[in-house]
Amino acid sequence: MEKNFEGMDALTTRERDWIYGARQMGQAAGEVLRSYFRRHDLDIEDKGSAYDIVTEADKASERVILDFLSHHFPHHAILSEESGDDHRDATYQWVIDPLDGTVNYSAGLATYCISIGLKADEETCMGYVYAPTLDEEFWAIKGKGAYGPYGRLQVKSTTELQRAVVSTGFPYDKATNPDNNLDRVASVMPRVRGLRRLGSAAMDLCYVAAGWLDGYWELNLKEWDACAGELIAQEAGATVKRYRADHGICILAACPGIAPQLLELVL
């Protein structure tokens, strides 16, 4: 690869192969997504509701990633948002979101990314997130730290909730399910400096890792939404907790100084 990541010297050969493979997939898929971005003829389909959609760009990005995996990691299992789980019995499983932030993307908003995680025996060992429009990469290997556009990532040291900028999101069934996060927003909003809704769970988690957000929570995510970003946030020093088991993946990530206060509010 033409770019040598900071932190690569501490990795094993296998770990370097994971990172460089993820980067090749992310960069190639990013080229595809950029080629479709803000096109007026973009094909958009509903996945059961008008709130949950897939575009031809999602599918094209996924094809690039799956083709790479089938060639370079043929014995690994794959869980991908658009293709599902291949149910292969394997030690390693790639967890792929070929376009996280599809609603943003379809509207012409630049907050979207490709999320690529790798699990070994059900435990996430590598995470890579690439934001094509911003050309920003985030990555982590379990136990080896997290890195981003400006070097090693470290969460902020904020200790007062009133000084925090946090983000959240809303589930696709928000119109029909009263457990839609609006009550948590009402609890958190008056107590923080700012509340944002970025529209990409993977980028929210990476932004906590980078110290650009102090905290983030969301309900009803899928494994491909959280896998890579969760590890990146953890390796940057964030407190990360999956705090409910009855509404998909409910996750909170925050700098340790405000995590207990934020968790109390969202619970």
Strand pairing class (123-131; 136-141): antiparallel
Average pLDDT value for the chain: 93
Considering only residues 246 and 187, tell me which one the structure prediction assigns the higher pLDDT.
187
Give the mean model confidence (pLDDT) for residues 76-84. Answer: 89
Closest to 61 measured CA to CA, from 114, 137, 121, 118: 114
Burial of 201 (0-12, 13-18, 19+ CB in 10 A): buried
- Size (the chain), residues: 267
Give the tens place of pLDDT for each residue, 207-259: 999 999 999 999 999 999 999 999 999 999 999 999 988 888 999 999 999 99
- pTM across the whole model: 0.95
Q: How far apart are CA 76 and CA 10, in angstroms?
A: 24
Q: Measured between alpha carbons, how far is residue 28 from residues 24, 132, 166, 262 in Å?
A: 6, 10, 31, 37
What is the separation, in whole angstroms, between the first and last Cα of the chain? 44
pLDDT surpasses 50 at 1: no
Q: How far apart are CA 161 and CA 107, in angstroms?
A: 32
> How does residue 84 score in pLDDT terms, banded at 50, 70 and 90?
confident
Three-state DSSP class for residue 231? helix
**Beta carbons of 136 and 130 less than 8 angstroms apart:** yes
Give the tens place of pLDDT for each residue, 32-65: 999 999 999 999 888 766 667 788 999 999 999 9
Helical ranges in the chain per DSSP H:
13-36, 56-72, 102-107, 182-188, 201-210, 223-235, 259-266
Q: How far apart are CA 123 and CA 245, in angstroms?
A: 18
Considering only residues 145 and 86, tell me which one the structure prediction assigns the higher pLDDT.
145
